[in-house]
Amino acid sequence: MKANYSYIYLAFFLLLNIFNFVDRNLLIAFAPQIKSEFNLTNVQWGLLTGVYFLFFYSVFGILMGVLGDKFSRMKIAAAGVFLWSLMTALTGVAKNFSHLIVARALIGVGESALTPNAISMLSDLFNQNKRGTASAIYYLGIPLGVGFGMLIAAFFGPVFGWRAVFITLGLIGMGLGIVTYFLFEPKRGQLDVSFDEDNKSASIRDIISMTKHALYNSKCLTFAIIGSIFLHIPLGAGNFEVLWAVNERGFTASAYNFLFGIFFILGGTVGAVLGGVLSDRLSHYFKGGVMTFLVISYLLLTPLTISYRFISPDTNFFYLTLFFVSFNVTFFYGPVFASVQELTPVKVRSTMVAVWILGVNIIGMGVGSFFTGYLVDYVFNDFSSPYTLSLISIGLTSILAIICYYIASLSYTEDIERVNKS
């Protein structure tokens, strides 16, 4: 496929990922309204925004990855876009907590189909030395999706109400799902010289077996995934971000959605782009490659992101740290996904991304979301700032991610060479 078509596909996958994160984070943006309307506890909120969604998103992600390695990745992605958008629209007519649970669970099923298959197709569209950048651009969907979702809530929520916003965005997404279905799919493994063109269709049993073998034989790959899990625990705690700002920092929901939306678009975009570009250009200078690059980066970023919770909104330093919080959220996606793809055989790349998604969501974000709610309701509930103390406690798990990335760096070069020879 010609290079210009590669970038057109990348732009379209980015658009889908933006809608992915707009729909995923609308609930968080409207947290005060929805939590109040349905009379939810913090634990229930953590379960709704974290566990229920993430369980189905992660478990079905494995299935979507395996199916993507066996069948049409584009059509599987299209079905996912249509399903999650339909459920987003139906969230807008929910009557009780149970309705919200069902809608969030099925949104998780739908969204699980996109990233494993999109990342796999991007590996067929871009050479190895451009995959970090391509993955980073794809993951601009996080800052742009979260940011635009916050801005949509800030501008349209007070005028039309949260239900109308959900319904409208869901209908637009269903249209995108139909468009996706009719796109052509790039040839699998076309840019990988080691790929066996004559034997590219593996059975589902073989796909599962090769995935297990890749994890067992690559300490770097295993610890890269574990490190990402620890890095996602604080991200799961982010489901309480708006509640923290409203209850303990004096913001209105609309004001903080606007502020966070702007900063997340700016900081998150810069973080995603720099993470991918710098890892592509600098990682070869380090013995541990991408993993060493991530260790150095997060030794610098982690103190800034934790200090954000201590700072008063009346100071300029608050806004500086908010920028780096947004920057931090997206910085690692390009480097990590590029390394996961490099450390994984071509035939099981969709499945391996799904394994990564399973770990970072169920164990990472699920733990972060649930335990933040638990800490607020039962551990720090008698303190004056329970949200702040809970978010700081959860944020410290980032230190464990740095340790895991360091361990991964020790075998990075050896494991890459083993994959290239296989």
pLDDT value of position 110 = 94
Which residue matches tokens 């810069």?
270
With cut-offs at 50, 70 and 90, classify the pLDDT of residue 347: confident
pLDDT at 3: 53
Per-residue confidence (pLDDT) for residue 170, from 0 to 100: 95
- What's the CA gap between 402 and 38, in Å, rounded? 39
pLDDT at 308: 86
Mean pLDDT over residues 69-87, rounded? Answer: 92
Q: What is the pLDDT of residue 178?
A: 96
- Region 47-52: mean pLDDT is 81
Report the pLDDT value the prediction gives residue 217, as an integer from 0 to 100: 80
Torsions phi, psi for 252 (to 5 deg): -80, 160
Going by the DSSP 8-state scheme, the letter that residue 201 receives in this structure is: -
Residues of the chain above pLDDT 70, percent: 94
Q: How confident is the model at residue 190 (pLDDT cuts 50, 70, 90)?
A: low
Checking if the pLDDT of 402 tops 80, the result is yes
pLDDT band for 143, please (50, 70, 90 cuts).
Answer: confident
Place of tokens 């979702």: 149
What percentage of the chain has pLDDT greater than the value 90? 33
- The pLDDT-based confidence of 16 (bands split at 50, 70, 90) is very high
Say which amino acid occupies 259.
L
What is the pLDDT, as a whole number, of residue 198?
46
Which tokens belong to 198?
């004559």
CB 94 within 8 A of CB 106: no
Q: Please give the full DSSP string across 224-242, using - where no structure is assigned.
A: HHHHHHHHHHHHHHGGGHH
pLDDT at 62 > cutoff 60? yes
Q: Tens digits of per-residue pLDDT, 144-164?
A: 998 899 899 999 989 999 999
Flag the least confident range among 138-142, 156-160, 225-229, 380-384.
138-142
Of 384, 23, 27, 18, residue with least CA distance to 239: 27
What average pLDDT does the segment 325-353 reach? 80
Q: What is the pTM of this model?
A: 0.74
**Structural domains of the chain, with CATH:** 3-186+203-421 (1.20.1250.20)
The confidence band for 189, taking pLDDT boundaries of 50, 70 and 90, is low
Burial class (CB in 10 A: 0-12, 13-18, 19+), 384: exposed
